[in-house]
Structure 1
Amino acid sequence: MASIPDFLDRRLGFAAARRSRVMSDGSPQHDGTRFRNVRPRPAEGLAKSLGIIWNMLFRKPRGTVPAGTLPVHALSRAALEAAPDRSLYRLGHSTLLLKLRGEYWLTDPVFGERASPFKRMGPKRFHAPPIALADLPPLRGVILSHDHYDHLDRETVLALAATTGVFLTPLGVGDRLIEWGIDAAKVRQLDWWQSANVEGITFTATPAQHFSGRSLFDGNSTLWASWVLADDDLRVFFSGDTGYFDGFREIGERLGPFDVTLIETGAYDPQWPYVHMQPEETVQAHVDLRGRWLVPIHNGTFDLAMHRWQEPFERVTGLSLARGVALATPRMGERLDLAAPHRGERWWREVASEAEAVAARARGWPCRGEEGGANS
């Protein structure tokens, strides 16, 4: 991380304006000043924004951070090299490692201790990454959904630069990487519905309902996106961050059906419905996409909302069972076969305190050792 955090460096205001101006030509997502959603996000207003900040800082309920140690399956380079193609590993939050055609792809890489511009302040990891950054094999590519701190960590990206072949980004995010020192020849920036083919695998940037920015001066100066990966007969959807919108149905119609959907389920709240989905919407998005297996991501690593840390897993499990959706919940570091996923275990219950167990029962959720649920 730079000695001066991004949001304190006023020069980024000028850099943001330059990124936005350069990227605006020909993009329907740009209004001439900033990037925008298909469905405009209502203005929050200063009072609501300050209220959200106040609640996050001083009115956090208990249970937003695990009471114990999360079970993490440790990985090694040897294990990755021995794994078959079409393997997927959750490394934390929305950082996913995929092995395709003998090479490795990483989404939204965050290996830092905090999702923050500060080293000693901000949301801290619940668990260490299953594999150290230095132990990762060389990457064929990195796929970025947007530039928020919990999806794009500057130190991580710079550490990966020398051993990564290509960085696939939405418009403007690649310019940010180049400003940081990433070789421009390695950066490929896409607008929504544009595709890049890398050694037979097609990557398509698809719409999302979100926003961008890393400072007080660069809001929406870069684009945000979901991604579709097509490897012969395999189709994978990666949501990045998004609220629920009609775009899921269009993506499913144009590029689906999907073998696996990797969809955000966490850091949601009624206060920000336009940028993060409730679990009910996650399941509906999966259905809209015509997905076969749903893997909930954007959870289990950082405290970014007001809900209990394990709530996203519990809610999406019950909802998936009710709607007949096949749900996979691998541990961090556990291998998932993209061609033949397994359901996984309710690993989050292994760290539930008695108080959390009581609260879960009060909500009608079965606890560790009890019967019921989609993953029984």
Structure 2
Amino acid sequence: MIIFWRSLALIIVVGLAVTGCSSMKPYMESPQYDEASKRFQHPAGYRNDKGFFDLLGLAGAFFTREKDPAERDGFPLRDPAAQPPATDGTDVTWIGHASLLFRHGGVSVLTDPVFSERASPFRFSGPKRVVPAAYTPESLPHVDIIVISHAHYDHLDMPSLRRLAVEQPDIRVIVPLGLAHYVRRAGFTDVTEIDWWQTDQRDGVDVTATPVRHWASRTPFDRNRTLWAGFMITFRDGYRFYFAGDTGYSADFTATRERLGAPDFAAIPIGAYEPRDFMRESHCTPEEAVQIFRDLDAGSAVAVHWGTFKLTLEPLAEPPVRLRAALAEAGIAERRFRALTHGERWNLGQSGN
């Protein structure tokens, strides 16, 4: 608990400094931007009425919890280099948490790249990996495109971006409104901000930001000053890959399918959902992830956002168990929506959809 209070104090100090010197421009042209509060918002609102002392209570429960066995023992890790790439050129490798390397038609897409030991602004405190990242920025194969879903530390990690920019500085990076200055500060120059339903079109690959039910912050004082998003990536041959980022359940996924078409492949989060009264607005359960899969009418999907960092109170190993049960209940073959081993590469030509 002493570490928790020290970390909280440091977050407040850092937050005041960052907020005080921030020159974030307003985004009055965005339908998601509320000029009165100078914050982005979801059209359905955010129905979480928990206050500061509720959050302290949750933090206390987290730091005094019985240790999860997976925090000690971790999970298996496969070496991506030991697995052959897909013969048809379409595969996905789970690096860990929300980080994926997806490849189709000679184009490689990296999602929410986080390679650091902790998902935190501090090296000494915060959620720590229970499994090493399957790649390092130095061992990562060629990347053409990076998409970053939002500002939270388990999705936007500045040390990882800095290391990536040293290795591959010419990557095309697409982010929601308000995040470009972080990515440029890390060393990338080809950076594009887009709003929900806007598309960055280039070299035969269209990247469209889509609405999801979440929120964003990096300090206690900048909540929703930047936008959050999922992404639909459409390749030259019409193949569609959808990355949900981080989200609670909402009607957004039906709207995405109706507006952009059903994805051939999707990455859908299944973890960080307990306690439910805190998390239902921003993190879906495995059962809700299956409903998202159905709303999107996805050909196949991979589960992300589980088993890497201990972020919430459910056991780390629980999400894929509940996912398999939910798929069985819905009559969906497990081979269509898989929870991979860390580092596992899935040849999507063998997805069986």
TM range (shorter): 0.7 to 0.9
- d(CA) in 1 for partners of 2:45, 2:66: 31
Shift of 1:82: 8.1
> Residue by residue, what CA displacement relative to the aligned partner does 1:31-72 show, whole Å, maximum 9, x if unpaired?
0111111211133222322221111112x2443634534221
Match of 1:224 in 2: 228
Which residues of structure 2 form unaligned runs of 5+? 1-9
- d(CA) in 1 for partners of 2:84, 2:163: 19
Q: Is the 8 A contact 1:64 1:307 kept in 2?
A: no
Q: Name the aligned partner's letter for residue 264 of structure 1.
A: P
Q: Is the 8 A contact 2:174 2:192 kept in 1?
A: yes
Shift of 1:186: 0.9
Q: Name the aligned partner's letter for residue 330 of structure 1.
A: L
**Corresponding residue to 2:33 among 27, 30, 33:** 30
2:108 counterpart of 1:104: yes
**Corresponding residue to 1:334 among 336, 340, 344:** 344
Shift of 1:169: 0.1
Q: Name the aligned partner's letter for residue 28 of structure 2.
A: D
- d(CA) in 2 for partners of 1:72, 1:342: 24
Shift of 1:181: 4.3
Match of 1:349 in 2: none
TM-score normalised to structure 2 length: 0.88
Shift of 1:286: 1.1
Match of 1:246 in 2: 251
Shift of 1:113: 0.5
Q: Name the aligned partner's letter for residue 14 of structure 1.
A: G
- CA spacing shift, 1:134–1:7, aligned 2, 3 Å: farther
Pairing 1:268-347 to 2, within 5 Å after superposition: 268-269=273-274, 270=276, 271-325=278-332, 326-341=336-351
SS at match of 1:175: helix
Q: Is the 8 A contact 2:93 2:345 kept in 1?
A: yes
Q: Is the 8 A contact 1:259 1:292 kept in 2?
A: yes
- d(CA) in 2 for partners of 1:172, 1:130: 29
- CA spacing shift, 1:174–1:83, aligned 2, 3 Å: farther
- CA spacing shift, 1:144–1:38, aligned 2, 3 Å: same
- d(CA) in 2 for partners of 1:342, 1:63: 34
Match of 1:158 in 2: 162
- CA spacing shift, 1:67–1:158, aligned 2, 3 Å: closer
- d(CA) in 1 for partners of 2:253, 2:241: 13
TM-score normalised to structure 1 length: 0.83
Match of 1:132 in 2: 136
**Corresponding residue to 2:60 among 54, 59, 71:** 54
Q: Name the aligned partner's letter for residue 347 of structure 2.
A: D
Q: Name the aligned partner's letter for residue 157 of structure 2.
A: D
SS at match of 1:336: strand
Which residues of structure 1 form unaligned runs of 5+? 344-376
Shift of 1:192: 0.1
Q: Is the 8 A contact 1:259 1:338 kept in 2?
A: no
Match of 1:72 in 2: 77
- CA spacing shift, 1:205–1:15, aligned 2, 3 Å: farther
- CA spacing shift, 1:339–1:195, aligned 2, 3 Å: farther
Of 78-87 and 118-127, more deviation after overlay is shown by 78-87
Match of 1:214 in 2: 218
Q: Is the 8 A contact 1:265 1:279 kept in 2?
A: yes
Q: Is the 8 A contact 2:147 2:175 kept in 1?
A: yes
SS at match of 1:299: coil
- d(CA) in 1 for partners of 2:71, 2:263: 32
2:97 counterpart of 1:87: no
> Residue by residue, what CA displacement relative to the aligned partner does 1:268-317 show, whole Å, maximum 9, x if unpaired?
12122101112221111111111122321101101011111111000011
SS at match of 1:134: coil
Match of 1:363 in 2: none
Percent of aligned pairs sharing the same letter:
32
Q: Is the 8 A contact 1:8 1:215 kept in 2?
A: no
Shift of 1:110: 0.5
- d(CA) in 1 for partners of 2:176, 2:26: 10
Q: Is the 8 A contact 2:158 2:182 kept in 1?
A: no
**Corresponding residue to 2:187 among 182, 185, 197:** 182
Q: Is the 8 A contact 1:328 1:342 kept in 2?
A: no
Q: Is the 8 A contact 1:65 1:303 kept in 2?
A: no
- d(CA) in 2 for partners of 1:62, 1:301: 15
Q: How many residue pairs end up in the alignment?
A: 333
